[in-house]
Structure 1
Amino acid sequence: MNTLHTLGRCTCHRHAFPGVLTITNGASPMGGSASVPRDGRIPDTPAARAAEAYLNEVSNLTMVRHCKRTFLFGQALAEKAGAKPDLEMLYVGALFHDLGLEPVFAGPDDFETLGAREAERFLTSRGYARIAQQVAAAIELHTSPDTANDTRPEVAYLCMGALCDVVGARLDQLEPRLIQQVVAEYPRDGTKALLNALLKIQIDTKPASRIAIAESRMGVLKRIAEAPFTG
């Protein structure tokens, strides 16, 4: 599988976006779980609410907000392209796409695999088998830019939404006002520091993992630090 190391060759390479550089956020804690407000753009289904509750249990507020922005950016990119993903699948996938980075799910496999496995287990156990496999597939593949070309829109736009929020890929395809609204609603406070810290653990402890290989080839951590966002 081609992972983030292909980013430099992919059409979703990082674009500078000066308007985002000056966004400032209110203070929020790095640790401790907390819910975030629901708005009209976010799916309101039993599976979505169950996924939100579970994410709030295992992740901190900074990660929860990253997952929300991932969905909103992915949704916006899909709308712009005229794609019609199943928004429930896309949302639950976005909420769970970084589960494998949480210490509670630590294991020898790549974090993408760990997260996909836990997402499928949770959804199946709660009676949401209809979306479990597709969500797991999207999580497993989300760090590969090639996944943006996947024929399954829930898979493709999870990848695009995540890369948009992590390294700024495809920001130039979105309206500045939308970007600022999303960041204002779900502040980035500490996102870069949190993702770099969690990914560094993966890189240091799993040198053969996809993310470690990507780091050695194109400097994932540096790209995150240089993303066109504040925080």
Structure 2
Amino acid sequence: MNTHHTLGRCACHRHARPGVLTISNGAASMGGAATVPRDGALPDTPAARAAEAYLAEVSNLTMVRHCKRTFRFGQALAEKAGARPDLEMLYVGALFHDLGLEPLFAGPDEFESLGAREAERFLNAQGYARIAQQVAAAIELHTSPDTANDPRPEVAYLCMGALCDVVGARLDQLEPRLIQQVVAEYPREGTKALLTALLKIQIDTKPASRIAVAQARMGVLQRIADAPFSG
């Protein structure tokens, strides 16, 4: 189904096997850092389970793990800030935030818009209209750093969680123990290579897109390569 990816479709459980994380010298600040959630549990609702199953059908294991780390980092940053996002919305948004990068959903529009539309379509079709619009909004906006200031916590912390996992943004606000735990549960193996390849397709084929503009201004692909993770 997804021939671009180097790994097969995900058949992983809600937690995955251990992995390794390398953190650069400046990436761990102990003072005032967010604590490890009590049990590291993922939201377990019908909508969350439906989203997990759908993502496993259209993505591969590397992408699924990226999406789950995005949620865990976003949740931890929200906890640190005393924010209270709807965790079901945040989790489903994290699971679906990169749907638009999947070859299955390729189209002329920007990948954020493609993913937002598919997520909203799926959630409405499955009977989860309560969360569909907010999830779509979070996906549409997640690549803009300014979205971290959005008053909707599900939107803001999806953006922050994704940027944390992709380029290491705000990683210094989290305890090294939490980072190690999240990456052990959902190993990064192949994450940089996969995201670089998928984003490069977007940049090369859609030169006016948000991600192409960000690449020209900020060197997104180099920031991914330089992120303080081992893979």
1:118 aligned residue: 118
Contact 1:58–1:102 under 8 Å retained in 2: yes
2:13 aligned residue: 37
SS at match of 1:34: coil
Deviation for aligned residue 1:36: 2.9
Q: Distance in 2 between matches of 1:58 and 1:37?
A: 16
**What pairs with 1:59-208 in structure 2 (closer than 5 Å)?**
59-208=59-208
Q: How many residues align?
A: 203
1:213 aligned residue: 213
Deviation for aligned residue 1:61: 0.3
Deviation for aligned residue 1:88: 0.2
SS at match of 1:151: coil
Give TM-score scaled by structure 2 length.
0.86
Q: Distance in 2 between matches of 1:180 and 1:60?
A: 22
Q: Distance in 1 between matches of 2:139 and 2:219?
A: 21
Give structure 1 regions of 4+ aligned residues with deviation exceeding 6 angstroms: none
SS at match of 1:38: coil
Query: 2:69 is aligned with what amino acid?
Result: R
Deviation for aligned residue 1:34: 1.7
1:229 aligned residue: 229
1:49 aligned residue: 49
Deviation for aligned residue 1:89: 0.1
Q: Distance in 2 between matches of 1:76 and 1:48?
A: 18
Give TM-score scaled by structure 1 length.
0.86
Deviation for aligned residue 1:117: 0.3
Contact 1:34–1:60 under 8 Å retained in 2: yes
Query: 1:35 is aligned with what amino acid?
Result: A
Q: Deviations over 1:142-168 (max 9, x none)?
A: 000100010000000000000000000
Contact 1:74–1:157 under 8 Å retained in 2: yes
Query: 2:7 is aligned with what amino acid?
Result: G
Q: Deviations over 1:92-125 (max 9, x none)?
A: 0000000000000000000000000000000000
Q: Distance in 2 between matches of 1:35 and 1:113?
A: 27
Contact 1:36–1:65 under 8 Å retained in 2: no
Q: Distance in 1 between matches of 2:92 and 2:183?
A: 20
2:27 aligned residue: none
Q: Distance in 2 between matches of 1:200 and 1:143?
A: 15
Query: 1:190 is aligned with what amino acid?
Result: G
Q: Deviations over 1:175-230 (max 9, x none)?
A: 00000010011000000000000000000110111101111111110000110000
Query: 1:209 is aligned with what amino acid?
Result: S
Query: 2:136 is aligned with what amino acid?
Result: A
Q: Distance in 2 between matches of 1:30 and 1:219?
A: 24
Structure 1: gaps (5+ residues): 1-28
Contact 1:30–1:61 under 8 Å retained in 2: no
Q: Distance in 1 between matches of 2:12 and 2:173?
A: 26
